[in-house]
């Protein structure tokens, strides 16, 4: 009967253990965004898969030696990049930690203690009637000295630990791609700020030329006033316009200082002059950018690859969380020497002590913590999928918008060049008419203001032209190789 009861209890325990193995399934969502990536960026341009500027190394894409030098300094000293590199080290340590859990842990142990059992207890009564050697009673109190090795090992029967390690590896790889994305953004930011600084330099030259023009116009108006060919009002208007132009000069100077310091901040250094050549800025011809096909973004853009690896990591986290519902098998062992007196430790084999145990355990009641962990992991993997889809969609839209911007800014720059040329001619005509008293001062002022505005806008158009090419290069996945 006793044997039957033991078998019955064992059967119940086994059935309960198997019941504990039931685990929920992860949520499955179809990835429509990735599956439906368009064949081209627009209907007009049919991309060539063999011609994609995003695969061009940045040292080949940027030809200005001053800009290349600035980028090289930024890649060495930029604080955000250095922070990202430490995130990679943290993720790498996470992989080593998960890998270590697959192997048994072994520890050395040394211990000493003393205990005294009550006389009227089973242990105390047993000790009182026990002799260590003939005629030698058990010591009271009883000491205990031990030393040896301890080992503990969780057998990965469900591959839960391997899954956790794979998730850590995917996360580590995503941090590497995150570093590449920071590189790409950093290079884009340095280049954009560099072109903005060159634009400010050229605008400063234009405003200084305008100031000289206003000074000559003021001298003419004073001469004409003395000859009664102009009034005091014309003189005051030219004086006011000259003061306005000089004030604008100091505004631009301040913007140049701030832009230089902004570049120095990206380079991780204290304020110092930025080496540059402003004379060739307006004659710089933007590089031709080839977009390839949209599906290449999945392989070229670091942020998309980072999101993809985070999605993979989150899916593995769900799988590992699901395996928490299964019972775990742990093996523990100890081997060493133990005695109540230090001198007895060397008496072998009597002092040798060892222990070996295996344990298969699974949660039967109160699985709320395991369920909550699984639900959290499941929600995170859904969130990661949405982040991945959003990254793909934004990447496609970035390229599509910038392609349109490149075409429109080229036409804008062309028309602004024509406007500037026409206004330069009108200034000479207006000044000649003013000298001959055939035009009033207002016509001269308006022509000069229009010409100034047009030249300033032309310089801004050139800066946008160059920066847009940099932006589309980065949007295609360039800048980190």
State pLDDT tens for residues 323-334.
988 888 899 999
pLDDT at 234: 79
pLDDT at 314: 96
Judge if 301 and 215 occupy the same domain: yes
Token pair recorded at residue 455: 């030249």
Averaged pLDDT for residues 56-78: 96
Assess whether pLDDT exceeds 60 at residue 378. yes
Confidence of residue 11 (pLDDT cuts 50, 70, 90): very low
Confidence of residue 259 (pLDDT cuts 50, 70, 90): very high
The verdict on residue 1 lying in a domain is no
pLDDT confidence band for 45 (50 / 70 / 90): low
Query: Does pLDDT of 431 surpass 80?
Result: no
Burial class, 129, CB count within 10 angstroms (exposed 0-12 / middle 13-18 / buried 19+) = exposed
Residue 422 belongs to a domain: yes
Is 80 exceeded by the pLDDT of residue 20?
no
The tens digit of pLDDT for each residue in 69-101 reads: 999 999 999 999 999 999 999 999 999 999 998
Please identify which residue in the block is written with the tokens 């980028």: 71
Judgement on whether residues 35 and 126 belong to the same structural domain of the protein: no
Please give the pLDDT value at position 50.
82
CATH code, 319: 1.20.1600.10
- Are 235 and 248 part of one and the same domain? yes
Do 404 and 343 reside in the same domain of the chain? no
State whether 239 and 118 are in the same domain. no
- Quick one: pLDDT at residue 4? 46
Kindly state the percentage of the chain with pLDDT values over 70.
92
Among 75, 292, 49, residue whose Cα is nearest residue 180: 75
Q: Which residue has the higher pLDDT, 350 or 294?
A: 294
Q: Are residues 289 and 433 in the same domain?
A: yes
Question: Residue 372 to residues 325, 328, 377: CA-CA distances in angstroms?
Answer: 12, 19, 9
Q: According to the model, what pLDDT value does residue 329 have?
A: 87
Q: Are strands 105-115 and 131-133 parallel, antiparallel or unpaired?
A: unpaired
Do 336 and 237 fall into the same domain?
A: no
Same domain, 318 and 191: yes
* Closest CA relative to residue 441, chosen from 246, 215, 207, 218: 218
Is the same domain home to 143 and 37? no
Give the CATH number for residue 121.
Answer: 2.20.200.10
pLDDT at 15: 47
Rounded CA separation 100/108 (Å): 18
Q: Do 211 and 321 fall into the same domain? A: yes
- The number of angstroms, rounded, from the C-alpha of 236 to the middle of its chain's C-alpha atoms is 57
Sheet holding 352-361, edge to edge: 105-115, 142-155, 328-339, 352-361
**Mean model confidence pLDDT for the chain:** 88
Q: Is 14 domain-assigned?
A: no
Average pLDDT over residues 26-50: 80
Q: Does residue 370 have a pLDDT over 60? A: yes
Asked if residue 2 belongs to a domain, the reply is no
Mean pLDDT, residues 331-355 taken together: 87
**What does the block give as tokens for 158?**
């469900």
Residue 250 and residue 178 in one domain: yes
| Nearest of 184, 188, 191 to residue 69 by alpha carbon | 191
Final residue in a domain of this structure, among 342, 361, 380:
361
Integer CA distances (angstroms), 78 to 84, 91, 172, 270, 403, in order:
10, 21, 21, 12, 30
Residue 217, in any domain of the structure: yes
Residue 210 lies in a domain: yes
Taken in order 388, 87, 163, 322, is the CA torsion positive or negative?
Answer: negative
The domain containing residue 122 runs over which residues?
Answer: 106-130+138-155+328-361
Which tops the pLDDT comparison, 439 or 446? 446
- Last residue of one domain, picked from the residues 338, 361, 384: 361
pLDDT at 439 > cutoff 70: no
User: Could you report the per-residue pLDDT of 149-173, keeping only the tens digit for each?
Assistant: 999 998 998 899 999 999 999 999 9
Kindly state whether residue 176 falls inside one of the protein's structural domains: yes
pLDDT(12) > 60: no
- 96 and 39 in a common domain: yes
The answer as to whether 13 is a domain residue is: no
Question: Could you tell me whether strands 136-137 and 131-133 are parallel, antiparallel, or unpaired per DSSP bridges?
Answer: antiparallel
Q: What is the predicted pLDDT for the residue at 343?
A: 80
Band (pLDDT 50/70/90 cuts) for residue 3 is very low
Q: Is the pLDDT of residue 413 over 90?
A: yes
Arithmetic mean of pLDDT, 182-198: 97
Between residues 213 and 331, the one the model is more confident about = 331
- Top-confidence residue, 346 or 174: 174
Alpha carbon distance 364, 342 (integer Å): 45
pTM of the entire predicted model: 0.85
How many domains is the chain partitioned into structurally? 2
pLDDT at residue 13 greater than cutoff 70? no
């Amino acid at each position: 009967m006793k044997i039957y009861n033991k078998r019955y209890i064992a059967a119940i325990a086994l059935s309960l253990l198997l019941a504990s193995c039931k685990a929920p399934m992860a949520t499955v969502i179809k990835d429509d965004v990735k599956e439906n990536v368009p064949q081209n960026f627009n209907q007009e341009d049919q991309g060539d898969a063999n011609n994609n500027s995003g695969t061009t190394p940045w040292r080949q894409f940027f030809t200005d030696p001053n800009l290349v030098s600035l980028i090289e300094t930024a890649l060495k000293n930029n604080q955000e990049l250095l922070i990202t590199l430490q995130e990679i080290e943290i993720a790498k340590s996470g992989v080593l930690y998960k890998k270590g859990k697959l192997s048994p842990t072994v520890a050395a142990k040394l211990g000493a203690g003393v205990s005294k059992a009550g006389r009227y207890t089973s242990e105390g009564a047993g000790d009182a009637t026990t002799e260590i050697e003939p005629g030698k009673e058990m010591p009271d109190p009883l000491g205990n000295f031990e030393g040896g090795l301890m080992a503990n090992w969780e057998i990965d029967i469900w591959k839960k630990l391997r899954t956790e390690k794979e998730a850590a590896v995917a996360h580590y790889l995503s941090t590497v791609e995150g570093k590449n994305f920071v590189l790409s953004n950093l290079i884009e930011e340095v280049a954009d700020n560099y072109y903005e600084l060159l634009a400010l330099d050229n605008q400063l030259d234009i405003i200084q030329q305008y100031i000289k023009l206003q000074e000559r116009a003021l001298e003419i108006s004073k001469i004409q006033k003395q000859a009664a060919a102009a009034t005091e009002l014309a003189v005051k208007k030219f004086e006011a316009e000259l003061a306005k132009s000089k004030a604008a000069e100091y505004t631009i100077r301040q913007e140049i200082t701030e832009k230089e310091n902004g570049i120095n901040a990206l380079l991780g250094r204290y304020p110092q002059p930025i080496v540059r050549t402003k004379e060739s800025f307006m004659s710089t011809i933007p590089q031709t950018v080839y977009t390839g096909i949209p599906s290449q973004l999945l392989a070229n853009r670091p942020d998309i690859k980072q999101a993809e690896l985070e999605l993979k990591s989150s899916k593995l986290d769900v799988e590992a969380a699901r395996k928490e519902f299964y019972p775990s098998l742990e093996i523990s062992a100890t081997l060493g020497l133990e005695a109540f007196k230090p001198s007895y430790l060397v008496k072998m084999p009597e002092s040798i002590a060892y222990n070996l145990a295996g344990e298969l355990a699974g949660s039967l009641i109160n699985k709320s913590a395991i369920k909550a962990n699984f639900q959290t992991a499941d929600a995170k993997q859904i969130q990661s999928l949405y982040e991945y889809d959003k990254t793909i969609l934004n990447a496609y839209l970035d390229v599509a918008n910038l392609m349109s911007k490149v075409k429109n800014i080229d036409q804008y720059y062309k028309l602004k060049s024509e406007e500037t040329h026409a206004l330069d001619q009108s200034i000479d005509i207006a000044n000649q008419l003013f000298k001959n008293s055939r035009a009033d001062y207002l016509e001269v002022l308006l022509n000069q203001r229009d010409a100034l505005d047009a030249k300033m806008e032309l310089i801004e158009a050139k800066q946008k032209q160059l920066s847009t090419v940099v932006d589309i290069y980065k949007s295609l996945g360039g800048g980190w190789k």
